[in-house]
Structures are given as C-alpha cells and as structure tokens.
Amino acid sequence: MSGILIHLPSTHLTKPATTLRLGPGEAARFGRGSTAHPVELLLPDPAVSRLAGEIRATEDHWQLTNYSTTQSYLVENPEGAGEYLRISPRRSGAPIPFEFARVVLPTRGSTVSFQVFAPDHVYLDADNPAGAWGTRTLNAYSLDKTATYFLVLVALCEPRLREASAVSVPTTPQVVERIRTHPALTQLTARAVSAHIDYLAEQKLRVRTPRHCADPGSGARRTGKREAVVGIALRFGLVREEHLALLPPRTPGLQFPEPAQSGGHR
C-alpha cells in the first residue's frame, strides 16, 4: 500500500495529537513554524528551527530532508533493537528504509519526536525469486509479525480466538492494559495504540467501515474500525491461535471485554 501516515503524540507542548496522511509525491514540512514558514507538523520547542525539515512520500518508501545547518536528526527503528540512521545537517531527500520509524530532534531539554508509518515492504515471490515468469506476485496483506502494530492486532483478536462466543472487541484502553507489560512497551499510550489501529485499518488491511461509522472522531467510527480490522484478520487467518504466544502473560483478574452497549464510550 503506497502512502505514509505521520503521528505526532500529544504532549504538554502539542495538544491534541496530530495525524497526517501523505500519498506518493506529497510532502509535509515540520518545525516550529511561523507566518513566513508555515509547517504541517508543528513542533513548538524553542530549540527546533522554524523550518526544520520535510518528509516526502514516494511509491515504496519515504524521504527526509534536514533543513538545519547545525543539528543532525535521528530516525530510529523502534522494532529494530536500537537500529537508527543519523540525518546530517542540510541532507536532502535521505531515503528511510524502516517500515515504522521515530524521527527524533534534539532540544535543550530532552528531545521531540514523531512517528512515521511507511508503505508496505515488498518481497519477492518465494516460488520465483528471480521474477522470471513476468509480473511479480504481491502479498495481499503484508504484516510484520515483529512489529508493535501486529501485537496490537493480536490483542484485538484475542477474545475471539480464546472464546468463540465473544462478540465485542477490546477498546483502545483495554489494548493498552493488555500489552503494556511487554518489556518494550511500558510507555505505550492510548494515542499510540490508536495510531497503530489507524495504520492497520487504512494502510495494511484497507478496511471499509460501514457508512454510518463515517463521522470522524465518533465512537461508532472507532468501534467499527476495530471490528473491521478483527474481522479481516480472523477471516483470512492473518492472526491465529499460535500468535497469542506473542502477547505478555495475562494480568490476574484481567477480563475480556463485555458485549458492546449502544452509546457507550469506546
């Protein structure tokens, strides 16, 4: 799936969280911003340049341009055990290979950062790696089972995998509670989980939610999106019982979600 999703979490400096979607050829600038230098991704920290950089989406990856003349930026792979790239000052169009990345800018305090969910990685046909038989075969649903978004997907599917009678899917706070005991996810937030669900729905599984759930920000829209993601994952066997082993041990007393009630907060 081409295009990228950019997520800037909510902090004491930026409220609320910001989510941008870029198609191939589209770009978004980031920085402190000003009237003369408007930006799509606002980072209101005095140590960040007014026009700090730009992200540009291509067909199969994204590029980062660093407009700073003095500061290097880091692009971390949160799924890659410390793997990162350093983007030097004035570097233009650096290609970023990570499917999920965190862009980190230095400040006088700690750092500021935002996340980028990239296009699917494309792999060769296992039966024909040389591509000698014509057009290559693409995976209908390309999922990285080591990625955080896949763990979120497994947590969403868990109740129905364990109990066939389950009719409801976990809410975002319930997903956070379920997986934040994982050693790598102790700082996981509801905003981050929501971004992972959006990425799964819009980029990975390409769900189409019911028309009555189309109102942005509505509880029905969010619930419909989670249910659609779970439905596709289970119908096509993308998440199976063996994947439950990826989840951390269940906390004693943690219950599966009750059937959804109309009008409830989700």
Strand pairing report for 41-42 and 27-31:
parallel
Q: Using one digit for the tens of pLDDT, what is the confidence trace for 60-89? A: 789 999 999 999 999 998 876 678 899 999
Q: Using one digit for the tens of pLDDT, what is the confidence trace for 150-168? A: 999 999 999 998 886 666 8
What is the mean pLDDT of the segment spanning 18-37? 90
Residue 11 pLDDT: 63
Residue 204 pLDDT: 85
Residue 55 pLDDT: 96
Cα distances from 87 to residues 25, 105, 120, 246, in angstroms, run 21, 10, 23, 33
Phi-psi region of 224 (alpha: psi -120 to 50; beta: other; left: phi over 0): alpha
What is the mean pLDDT of the segment spanning 25-34? 93
Helix 190-199 vs helix 148-162: angle between axes, to the nearest 10 degrees?
90
Q: Using one digit for the tens of pLDDT, what is the confidence trace for 226-256? A: 999 999 999 889 999 999 999 999 876 666 5
Residue 212 pLDDT: 43
Tell the residue number behind the tokens 């290609």, with chain if given. 95
Q: How far apart are the first and last CA of the chain?
A: 28
Residue 89 pLDDT: 94
Q: Is the predicted pLDDT of residue 223 greater than 60, yes or no?
A: yes
Taking the C-alpha atoms of residue 45 and residue 22, their distance in angstroms, rounded to an integer, is 24
Q: Is the predicted pLDDT of residue 45 greater than 70, yes or no?
A: yes
Tell the residue number behind the tokens 């305090």, with chain if given. 109
Cα distances from 92 to residues 24, 33, 39, 53, 73, in angstroms, run 17, 19, 17, 9, 12
Residue 207 pLDDT: 81
Please report the domains of the chain, with CATH numbers, ordered by start residue.
4-117 (2.60.200.20), 148-246 (no CATH)
Q: Is the predicted pLDDT of residue 148 greater than 70, yes or no?
A: yes
Strand pairing report for 62-66 and 73-76:
unpaired
* DSSP-based three-state secondary structure for 231: helix
Taking the C-alpha atoms of residue 266 and residue 263, their distance in angstroms, rounded to an integer, is 9
Q: Are the C-beta atoms of 54 and 90 separated by less than 8 Å?
A: no
Share of the chain above pLDDT 70, in %: 76
The per-residue pLDDT of the chain, averaged, comes to 81
Of 74, 65, 72, which Cα lies nearest the Cα of 89?
72
Helix 219-235 vs helix 148-162: angle between axes, to the nearest 10 degrees?
80
